[in-house]
């Protein structure tokens, strides 16, 4: 199945808090991060059936991502983005995922620094 036959679910601007950073002042307190997730899957069955059982339950997925992020303490935004992608790919219906993690205020004079990763299974990226 090519990416052209896959449908998309977006989880936008999920505001979470976690320990993230390499500097000692960053390690002592939780900071805001903004997470954007793009899931790709074949949603044709759900489109036809109108049943939650036939699709990705994005409310459950959001809760799993929130629990992982809010309990985490990573040094790098890259690692956090990777772990979020792994949580998303735990659902076998997710063929690929793009994750962007913004760390507001990470750089002086910049609104945010963001890292994006794309991960997939079976040739999907």
CATH number for position 106 = 3.30.1130.10
Is 103 catalytic? The answer is: yes
Give the separation between CA 52 and CA 36, rounded to whole angstroms: 22
Number of compact structural domains in the chain: 1
Give the separation between CA 85 and CA 70, rounded to whole angstroms: 15
Whether 75 has a pLDDT exceeding 80, the answer reads: yes
Report if residue 39 sits inside a domain: yes
In angstroms, what is the C-alpha Rg of the chain? 16
- Once rounded to an integer, what is the mean pLDDT over residues 96-117? 94
Question: Residue 83 in 3-state DSSP?
Answer: helix
Give the tens place of pLDDT for each residue, 44-72. 999 999 999 999 999 999 999 999 999 99
Whether 89 has a pLDDT exceeding 70, the answer reads: yes
- What sign results for the dihedral spanned by CA atoms 18, 21, 27, 29? negative
Report if residue 125 sits inside a domain: no
Report if residue 10 sits inside a domain: yes
């Amino acid at each position: 199945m090519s990416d052209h036959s896959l449908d998309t679910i977006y989880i936008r601007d999920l505001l979470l808090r976690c320990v993230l950073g390499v500097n000692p002042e960053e390690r002592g307190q939780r900071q805001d991060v903004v997470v954007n997730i793009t899931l790709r899957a074949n949603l044709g069955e759900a489109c036809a059936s109108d049943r939650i059982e036939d699709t990705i339950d994005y409310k459950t997925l959001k809760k799993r991502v929130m629990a992982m992020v809010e309990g985490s303490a990573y040094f790098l935004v890259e690692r956090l983005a990777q772990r979020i992608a792994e949580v998303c790919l735990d659902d076998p219906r997710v063929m690929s995922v793009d994750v962007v993690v913004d760390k507001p205020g990470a750089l002086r004079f910049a609104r945010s620094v963001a890292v994006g990763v794309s991960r997939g299974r079976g040739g999907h990226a």
